[in-house]
Amino acid sequence: CSRWEEEKKEDGVKWMQLEHRGPYFVPLYEPLPEDVQFYYDGKPLKLSLATEEIATFYAKMLDHEYTTKEIFQNNFFHDWRKEMTSEEQEIIKDLDKCDFREIHKYFVEKNEARKALPKEEKQKLKEEADKIQEEYGYCILDGHREKIGNFKTEPPGLFRGRGEHPKMGMLKKRIMPEDVIINCSRDSKIPEPPEGHKWKEVRFDNTVTWLASWTENIQNTLKYIMLNPSSKLKGEKDWQKYEVARRLKDVVHKIRAQYRKDWTSKEIKKRQGAVALYFIDKLALRAGNEKEEGETADTVGCCSLRVEHIQLHPRLDGQEHVVEFDFLGKDSIRYYNKVSVEKRVFKNLQLFMKNKDPTDDLFDQLTTTFLNKHLQHLMDGLTAKVFRTYNASITLQEQLKALTNPEDNIAGKLLSYNRANRAVAILCNHQRSIPKTFARSMQVLQEKIDAKKKQVEEAQEELKKVEDEFEDTKDAKAEANVEKKKKLLKRLEEQLAKLNIQATDKEENKQIALGTSKLNYLDPRITVAWCKKFGIPIERIYNKTQREKFAWAIDMAGEDFEF
């Protein structure tokens, strides 16, 4: 029996034995050398240690867009002043008079020096890091030695957040052992806190899978140390997630029939739920959570959409009943889409928007909790999120069937795979900003293509020359020459085709993030089966980390696997 299928534990119990070393705490602050100075109002100012450490956080980010944003500057200055001595507070009253440039330069140079270290030195540093990984990076879980995901505490620094986060620039405090709750088994060797410190608490809770946890000070959320994705526990959880999505496949037509019926329900709450579910199913929108105002960036999901986030067009660009969405979703990523919907949905939206202000909720009767409770009745384990997983996976499978040409070479098949993956990323709205290096690397690729074209042209001329020669002489040597030149031309043409494919792929991909769906929404067995069926080496699609995470799928799926 493979390690994915060992005996099942009773409900809720995640492990019988858990032993580990506790988190690795990042090293303490090292003061700046005497000759690296902070200046206030043009004059050098020696800072106390705590104040200096926070100054270095800002200094390191000087060349970053964040430090140009007013919110970031204000939050930083406010939190920094709180940590200053009263003397420092008396002097430092204006961020504009602070000069961090010398500190910034020091860290840039330190970074450069580290990059320029000789090979032996780098090797030594790597060995030290490996030693820490060996000591802290593994735990014993039910007799298996399992890798831990993030065994180091996060270093202190300035909070960045994604998008226009209202808390950006705030001080992320150093995590101390006194902040940390340890979770392990009663009979294990309980981890020792660092010298002179003690843990906040030690727990023996085998219904959860985390090894340590603490509360971070900015959003007051819990942070956990968890197992690495390649561990048995995470692998099983991942597998279960896709199994739930596969079960949805059997009932999805019933659910769709039901929500279409509910569009005409007498209860407005039911109607709102049915329209929201239609969006979640058809557009793979996230459900959207209820959250405290002012605590987080103003982002929404389907259930929390406001009237201002959609516009209704009876006709637009030759289509009927068009809904134009424009809102910031998770991580402040803009979702913009124009979709032709069914007439009933359109009419309902008009009704839901009637007599409301732009900032009112579109689905005012609906919460995510209510929607998920309703879904649980329809199928055990069903939540709004499962639709996203299901639609992503089914889209990949259908696109692979439609796009793969068995006659193509490996490069051609991989382009088809990326196109199928892209269809999913577009469905899920997984965007990225165009990489800074994009134009340059595209130019390099174009130069390669031009050079290769020239080689192809030359090879064509050469071939013509030897063919003419063979016409004249008809001798064996000339004939062999023709074959040789033909082979060369064919090889060069294949190389050119491959480069052209690369360029197409790169261009089509510049604003789309493929990785998110690959890791979180696509049943890896679909990919494994496709690779096996078409003889594609799995490492052309999954890198080493991904192969470890998806070891369960590589074990299980044959070429006939159907999602």
pLDDT tens digits, one per residue of 174-203: 999 999 999 999 999 999 999 999 999 999
Could you report the per-residue pLDDT of 315-360, keeping only the tens digit for each? 988 899 999 999 988 877 888 889 899 999 999 999 999 999 999 9
CA angle 511, 516, 520 (to 5 degrees): 160
* Structure confidence at residue 1 (pLDDT): 42
* Structure confidence at residue 296 (pLDDT): 67
Q: How much helix, strand and coil, in percent to the nearest 5, is found in the chain? A: 50, 10, 35
What are 233's two structure tokens?
Answer: 């526990």
Give me the phi and psi of 507, to 5 degrees please.
-65, -45
On whether the CB atoms of residues 312 and 350 are closer than 8 A, the answer is yes
Q: Residue 546 contacts by C-beta under 8 Å, 6 or more apart in sequence? A: 518, 519
Q: Domain locations in the chain?
A: 18-26+121-232, 39-120, 234-381, 392-556
Tokens 């006194």 map to which residue? 178
* Structure confidence at residue 235 (pLDDT): 82
Neighbours of 299 (CB within 10 A): 23
Kindly list the distances between the CA atom of residue 9 and the CA atoms of 13, 236, 355, 436, 448, in Å, as whole numbers in the listed order: 6, 13, 54, 49, 57
Q: Report d(CA 562, CA 389) in Å as an integer.
A: 15
Q: Residue 188 contacts by C-beta under 8 Å, 6 or more apart in sequence? A: 17, 18, 19, 140
Q: Report d(CA 218, CA 159) in Å as an integer.
A: 8
On whether the CB atoms of residues 526 and 561 are closer than 8 A, the answer is yes
Q: Report d(CA 90, CA 477) in Å as an integer.
A: 93
404 by DSSP, 3-state: which? coil
Q: Residue 388 contacts by C-beta under 8 Å, 6 or more apart in sequence? A: 280, 284, 286, 428, 521
Average pLDDT of every residue of the chain: 89
Q: Kindly tell me if the per-residue pLDDT of 369 is higher than 80.
A: yes
Single out the catalytic residue among 24, 259, 521, 542: 521
Nearest to 137 by CA among 156, 150, 123: 150
Q: Residue 224 contacts by C-beta under 8 Å, 6 or more apart in sequence? A: 210, 211, 212, 213
Fold of the CATH domain 234-381: Topoisomerase I; Chain A, domain 3 (3.90.15)
Nearest to 155 by CA among 339, 336, 292, 26: 26
Is 39 known to be catalytic? no
On whether the CB atoms of residues 537 and 447 are closer than 8 A, the answer is no
Could you report the per-residue pLDDT of 152-165, keeping only the tens digit for each? 999 999 998 777 78
For the chain, percent of residues with pLDDT exceeding 90: 58
* Between 339 and 8, residue with greater pLDDT: 339
Q: In sequence order, what are the beta bridge partners of 361?
A: 306
Q: Report d(CA 559, CA 563) in Å as an integer.
A: 12
* Mean pLDDT in residue range 140-159: 91
Would you place residue 39 in the very low, low, confident or very high pLDDT band (cuts 50, 70, 90)? very high
Architecture in CATH of 39-120? Orthogonal Bundle (1.10)
Q: Report d(CA 83, CA 391) in Å as an integer.
A: 49
DSSP element (H, E) containing 315 = strand 310-316
Could you report the per-residue pLDDT of 82-99, keeping only the tens digit for each? 999 999 999 999 999 999
Q: Report d(CA 349, CA 359) in Å as an integer.
A: 15
Amino acid at 377: H
Could you report the per-residue pLDDT of 453-469, keeping only the tens digit for each? 999 999 999 888 888 88
DSSP element (H, E) containing 320 = strand 319-328
Could you report the per-residue pLDDT of 426-457, keeping only the tens digit for each? 888 787 777 778 888 889 999 999 999 999 99
Q: In sequence order, what are the beta bridge partners of 40?
A: 43, 98
Neighbours of 400 (CB within 10 A): 22
Q: Kindly tell me if the per-residue pLDDT of 16 is higher than 50.
A: yes
392-556 classified as CATH 1.10.132.10: yes
Q: Kindly tell me if the per-residue pLDDT of 518 is higher than 50.
A: yes
Top-level class of domain 18-26+121-232: mainly beta
Query: Has this prediction a pTM greater than 0.95?
Result: no
Q: In sequence order, what are the beta bridge partners of 141?
A: 18, 144
